[in-house]
Structure 1
Amino acid sequence: MLKGSTENASSVEKTMLKLHKSCTDHIAKATKSNEHEINQVLHLEADLAAWLGVLESKPESQQLRSAHRDFGLAFYAAMSGLYRQAFSSLRSFLEVTVGATYLSSLEFKRRQWVSGILDISWSSITSKDDGLYSTPFLKEFCPEAIEEREEMHEKLRQAYRRCSEYIHGNVSTSQLLPTNISYREDIAKEWLSVATSTLTAVIHCLMVRYYKDLPETGKGAVEGSLEDHFSHLISARQLLGLPLEERTS
């Protein structure tokens, strides 16, 4: 029996090392073919890290950092060819980050969520009546963003939906996924595109909820990222004190 167990362990080790080799080969191809897109994602991820730094004293900081780790796992999975897992972890990052941001305004519910009494609800978070991009919420936290609420709400919805389609075995995505670990440039590029949209949407959520309440040092730590990514939006220009572009009739 001991001999059989040893042989089984050896067989498992060989299988796992073979899978590891496939992932390593995929990483080499993915990083070589998508350098520009990867740099975009890493730039946004670094900006997110700056936000997490200025929010570290907030009660929801632990959940935000946990979600950040999910993003790291998602990136690793995408580069390794574990595509379904990459989209799954990306959705988890989106859900938890946006959920923690929204529930930070509802301390009782936030505590119930942390203690496991309350489940996070994407439909509640993104409700047009009282969610993160609802008019009542924005009036209290960032009235400058009211005019762009539909655009940003749609970005969140699209990113969440696309991740969900890969997770739940949607027919169209299931047909795309390879049956083994092999490089698929179209899927790798799509994950990087969805990740870029997701990170951008998350940073905008953080701006809407927190920017006006940050101390000047905190604002200084994140204003560069806001100018980089949102200088085309009236809300960001107003918050940053940038000149508004004249509108032509």
Structure 2
Amino acid sequence: MDVLEHYRALFRNSETVLRDMIDANGTEALVSSHNYLLDFDVLKMAIAERPEAAVFESAVKEYQFALFALVSGQYRHAFGGLRLFFELMLSTVQFSAHEIDYRMWTKDSKDINWNSLKDAQNGVFSTNFIRAFNPSFSDCGKQYSAIAEAVYRECSEFVHGNAGTHATLPSDIVFQSNAFCSWHDKAATMRMAIIFAFSARYLNYVSKEATDRMEPVITEAIGDLSQVQEIFAKSSGD
């Protein structure tokens, strides 16, 4: 087999993965996760004029690459891409409060650091950070921090090549239902944590038009929070 034929065979295997996913009734999960992109577009419009919007756009690109890896049967890379997406999304929120860090990051003078994002004192889910922008949300930060930490750690197992991931992932390019479903579960969890962090940071600072556009996205994800209900009840009454 020559080199080009080797890679053609890999592409054919990926097509088989997609076909097997459809046969296994995976289309609904794929469509749901793909449609999260519509939610992210709504959130992006709310911060379109802010510097950190560029980080948000990079995050969405990584999400799309992760989805492509997933439907191609590249599960380890799909989880790794999902983790990077999560880091960039939360960094968008963090950079909004630390523009100097954002400027340094764009010049490759500062790295994105997960420990900083989840820091109990100053991270994006910390009481101090949330209270500065939306005090009513501050009591919920610890809950969402725990959720974010758990899903990030689960994706990190694939990035670091933990032994258990070698046992659970297929050695060839084939459809694996458990990995496929797990990816979608993690994507949904990340979406919820991102929407909470985004709401806590920006809801008090966006226009009425942006608030109205964001309402269905936010209420669908975290509408059980009384703080969210109060904000949109007040908005509708203005």
- Global fold match (TM > 0.5): yes
TM-score w.r.t. length of structure 1: 0.89
Q: Does residue 185 of structure 1 match 2:210?
A: no
Q: 1:193 Cα deviation (Å)? A: 0.7
Q: 1:197 Cα deviation (Å)? A: 0.8
The percent of aligned pairs where both chains have the same amino acid is: 23
Decide which of 116, 121, 124 is 1:124's aligned counterpart. Answer: 116
Q: 1:190 Cα deviation (Å)? A: 0.4
Decide which of 2, 19, 25 is 1:28's aligned counterpart. Answer: 19
Which residue identity lines up with residue 20 of structure 2 in the other structure? K
Q: 1:198 Cα deviation (Å)? A: 1.2
Q: 1:100 Cα deviation (Å)? A: 2.0
Q: Is the 8 A contact 1:44 1:200 kept in 2?
A: no
Unaligned runs of 5+ in 2: none
Spell out structure 1 runs of 4+ moving beyond 3 A: none
Q: Does residue 168 of structure 1 match 2:160?
A: yes
Secondary structure, counterpart of 1:45 in structure 2: helix
CA RMSD in angstroms comes to: 1.5
Instruction: Give runs of aligned pairs for residues 1-249 of structure 1, distance below 5 A.
Output: 11-32=2-23, 33-241=25-233
Q: Is the 8 A contact 2:55 2:89 kept in 1?
A: yes
Aligned counterpart, 1:7: none
- Give the number of aligned pairs: 233
Q: Is the 8 A contact 1:131 1:137 kept in 2?
A: yes
Q: 1:37 Cα deviation (Å)? A: 2.2
Q: Is the 8 A contact 1:144 1:238 kept in 2?
A: no
Q: Is the 8 A contact 2:79 2:159 kept in 1?
A: yes
Q: 1:224 Cα deviation (Å)? A: 1.0
Q: Report the Cα distance in structure 1 between the residues aligned to 2:153 and 2:48, rounded to whole angstroms.
A: 30
**Residues 38-47 or 129-138, more deviating:** 38-47
Q: Is the 8 A contact 1:31 1:79 kept in 2?
A: no
Q: 1:152 Cα deviation (Å)? A: 0.6
Q: Is the 8 A contact 2:126 2:142 kept in 1?
A: no
Aligned counterpart, 1:246: none
TM-score w.r.t. length of structure 2: 0.93
Q: Is the 8 A contact 1:48 1:203 kept in 2?
A: no
Q: Is the 8 A contact 2:90 2:194 kept in 1?
A: yes
Which residue identity lines up with residue 127 of structure 2 in the other structure? T
